Chain A
């Protein structure tokens, strides 16, 4: 039965049903409600012998998860933005060691400048960390993905990151069905770990590997990620059979039949995109959308199959790689290598700027008129940017661009 729940609470309840043994909790906006809810659950005795570790940093959180997984316990933690960066070293370590971890990332922009609102920079900044990265479009999917993530992580012995848009999803109250506890237990049997610290059979984990073997070790990790391309749809299918919902998987097409223009995106923005697609289809415009549900590994074959028939692809992405452009777009281009389909990277929604249906409609109109370049910034205030660039060469007040902006607005006062 669906209940009206805040996204964070729904995720916390679901994680509880996955029976974690160790929860490492460190707060950062906008994930705080998740760790708070889990703390309450542990303290109320709702999670059995689950140990709550109130750690002193995100780096400690991921490290504690590594330790817990190493002794065969099932860990959990959540983070966002700066916290994800702070644990970056540990992320690479966890995947390199092949540990089955699951973590929620409540997607939030990365500073400087500090920004607490939603975009995808945090998760995408760690795209090379060796973690599987899944993106939820809705709170229901976020909930479902956590269950699938544990199954995936423990099957492959690889860590999995479940991404959900910070604030936009974490703090939205909407009807969500939290999976039934018994069904989750059946879906997540305890799996003997591939490696474990056990006095009865001592192992050394984390040795130093030199040039003679490092390449092979890394190749095997890449190979394992590629194996996830088979495991992910398989698990999604089994999930659908057990829970009756289509969640997860690699990609999801929306009204792709005969679509000349396809919008590709990840996460909650797909809701608005679908509504725009519906409106345009009502007017006979051949547009569709493709949800990229799994970002790492890249589902290249699925992307190609879905997008090659289209004339053009507009990738709406909430992050960018400064100095080069889109991140998701680069993967899309690679998947479409050799096809005639044009790909346009549109950077949008950075730092929580809403991606409005009006802007999407305008964007798609320009796309259909072939007026989009290969890289664009949605809703960029060009006047403001131009003014700042003009001013950059001729400062009118001492100090950085905040001071210049004040001066331009006539608000700067020299000290008497």
Chain B
């Protein structure tokens, strides 16, 4: 682990206190005019899109770490669609979109091709949403992990197939309403099943680096990309990315909602090496899950017309369990 100071953002209302008060070398890369700007402006993402924010941070951080020598493979999904409306493209790095399920395999092929050519100074980045990563792309992802292909794969998790109109994915949180898990009377929305944790599955492959992050802490996100880029082999980064459209939330609240997901314990932020958790981000100020759920219309059915106490309690228990499991309670 590097010795970089951990920079904490403190959010006051809707303004983030951050870069202005830090020494230049501690500021987030996004504040640096020399950043690669690998996804330049003009793309067609929604107002408040968490994925666009995350991808910008991730790719620029990767570019900085690799001296600008990065090639990217992108799965089908929002990111790919809003960034490449022919004949325009937002990408200022070499970038390929193949099909939905195969970004990890395409990336593996790219890494192998570069290695065969003796050009391993060029680093390979794979990107996809949760649908393309934990569902349809799962076999390819696992294969890439198992082989240890030299790829950093980043999943921008907004909990559903948002590009196609907000359908449920294997990463949709329990209790969320989507078009294919509609909250009709008597149903909680998405099933209260055990879910599918891609980061834990990645850890089970014992790859050298797995980390989770959110758009609420871009410093942390950039630092994790930097750390990942110091390593060769299969690496996985899972980034919680708010989708105002799919979540039914105010586009101004995207960052705050991501923070709430962390502070309620619903989304654990941690790092793992070779299958073992080595660091967690403790929760600064614990919040009840309802604080996270209320601002999102996809959870509105849990409160109106009457509170679904059993579901809310189940979600709270889930958060409690996550906090205990990862040791997130700094006061514990």
Contact = CB atoms under 8 A, between A and B. Distances in A.
Given A54-B147, A59-B140, A71 B91 contact: no
A208 B81 contact: yes
A72 B117 contact: yes
Interface in B102-124: 102, 105-119, 122
A49 B114 CA distance: 10
A67 B95 contact: no
Given A53-B147, A73-B116, A197-B96, A207 B84 contact: yes
B71 interface: yes
A56 B140 contact: yes
A323 to B, nearest CB: 28
Contact of B113 (A55, A75, A206): A75
A99 B231 CA distance: 31
A279 B323 CA distance: 83
Contact of B109 (A53, A203, A209): A53
Contacts of A198: 94
Contacts of A60: 102, 105, 108, 139-140, 143
**Which of B74, B111, B112 has the most chain A CB atoms closer than 10 A to its own CB?**
B112
Contacts of A67: 73, 96, 98, 105-113
B80 interface: yes
B205 interface: no
Nearest to B116: A21
A209 B87 CA distance: 8
Interface residues of A, number: 44
Interface string B122-149: 1000000000000000011011001101
Contacts of B122: 71, 199
Contacts of A61: 105
Contacts of B95: 197, 202-205
Contacts of A350: none
Given A59-B140, A202-B94, A208 B110 contact: no
B110 A71 contact: yes
B69 interface: yes
B80 A63 contact: no
A51 interface: yes
Interface string A69-91: 11111010000000000000110
Contacts of A63: 98-99, 102, 105-106, 108-109, 140
A162 interface: no
A217 B87 CA distance: 12
Contact of B87 (A65, A70, A213): A213
A59 B116 contact: no
A398 interface: no
Given A56-B140, A199-B122, A208-B85, A50 B97 contact: no
A213 B98 contact: no
A50 B116 contact: yes
Interface residues of B, number: 47
B91 A73 contact: no
A24 interface: yes
B102 A70 contact: no
Contacts, number: 168
A204 B68 CA distance: 16
A73 B109 CA distance: 9
B94 A53 contact: no
Given A53-B108, A71-B71, A207 B85 contact: yes
A348 interface: no
B70 interface: yes
B99 A64 contact: no
Highest count of chain A CB atoms <10 Å: which of B96, B107, B142: B96
B229 to A, nearest CB: 14
B92 interface: yes
Given A64-B105, A75-B113, A206 B93 contact: no
B89 interface: yes
Given A49-B116, A67-B113, A72-B117, A59 B105 contact: yes
Contacts of B85: 207-208, 210
Contacts of A89: 99, 101
Q: Which 10 A-B pairs have the closest CB atoms?
A: A67-B109, A73-B113, A64-B109, A56-B143, A206-B97, A63-B105, A63-B102, A197-B94, A68-B113, A21-B116
Given A89-B99, A203-B95, 10 more contacts: A53-B108, A56-B143, A63-B99, A64-B112, A65-B109, A70-B96, A75-B113, A199-B69, A202-B93, A204-B91
10 contacts: A51-B112, A59-B105, A67-B108, A67-B111, A68-B112, A68-B113, A73-B114, A73-B117, A202-B93, A206-B97
Interface of A: 21-22, 24, 49-51, 53-57, 59-61, 63-73, 75, 89-90, 93, 97, 196-199, 202-210, 213
